[in-house]
A = this chain, B = another copy of it.
Amino acid sequence: MDSGRLEAFSDGVFAVAITLLALNLAVAGPGHGPLARQLVSHWPSFAAYFVSFLTIGIIWVNHHTLFKNFSEIDRTLLFLNLLLLFFVVAIPFATATIAAYLSRGGADASLAAAVFQAVFEGMSLSFGLVFWWSIRREHLKIAPAGTRSAIIRFGAGNVAYAAAIGIAFLSAPASLLVSALVAGYYVIEQTPSRDPGAMTTSDRNEDSSARP
């Protein structure tokens, strides 16, 4: 089974999820006070939209980077990818929840932030599973150095999201800031296949097999 249709379906889910995020930006409309005040008090929606958009964008970039190296997809990988999408699809819900409760403070804000981070942690862990299965079954040809640095990167993200679940109960906004920083870290950090040795291998592979 080639990876083309898995990528097309996943891209569809990423695209719909990232676009649905903005539904939550809608203000209550006329009759709920001046628009300026509504927009200002709506800041948690904009902040959560920003973090979630960037996070889905990054996971898409990484998904892209990972799957273009695959020559074949097995049934297990199809279902691990579905697990990943299960959490991606839940992100608009998690984003709407944290946006609705963040400025309320107290136990509700903390719980909303913890739910938000738990969905990100679930997404991050399932991406790790996809990556682990890829290496174990040697679908993914990657240089050992690339593998090590990828494990460090995935590990850092996972630990940060896990910490953010805890931080949510101390301060919900601080927890949101942690996920923004994780997203910023992944924008700057390179993905595994950028490792020069691995790139050469995978490119050569791609030239001979995936391209006709």
Residues of A that sit less than 8 Å from B by CB = 1, 5-9, 11-23, 25-27, 29-30, 34-36, 39, 53-54, 57, 60-61, 64-65, 68, 75, 78-79, 82, 85-86, 89-90, 92-93, 96-97, 100-101, 104, 107-108, 111-112, 115, 187, 190-191, 194, 211-212
Contact in complex: B22, A19 (CB < 8 Å): no
Contacts of A86 in B (CB 8 A): 53, 57
User: Which of B25, B35, B54 interacts with A101 by CB under 8 Å?
Assistant: B35
A132 CA to B101 CA, complexed, in Å: 40
A1 CA to B193 CA, complexed, in Å: 10
Q: Which of A39, A68, A89, A97 has the most CB of B within 10 A?
A: A89
Given contacts A8-B8, A13-B19, A57 and B82 within 8 Å (CB-CB): yes
Contacts of A13 in B (CB 8 A): 15, 18-19
A21 CA to B82 CA, complexed, in Å: 14
Contact in complex: A30, B89 (CB < 8 Å): no
Contact in complex: B79, A187 (CB < 8 Å): yes
Q: Which of A9, A21, A108 has the most CB of B within 10 A?
A: A9
A19 CA to B23 CA, complexed, in Å: 12
In angstroms, how far is the closest chain B Cβ from the Cβ of A194? 7
Q: Provide a sorted-by-A list of 11 A–B residue pairs whose CB atoms are within 8 angstroms.
A: A8-B8, A13-B18, A21-B89, A22-B92, A26-B93, A26-B96, A27-B97, A30-B104, A57-B85, A61-B75, A75-B191
User: Which of B36, B100, B212 interacts with A30 by CB under 8 Å?
Assistant: B100
Contact in complex: B18, A15 (CB < 8 Å): no
Contacts of A107 in B (CB 8 A): 34-36
Q: Which of A19, A20, A86 has the most CB of B within 10 A?
A: A19
Contacts of A93 in B (CB 8 A): 22-23, 25-26
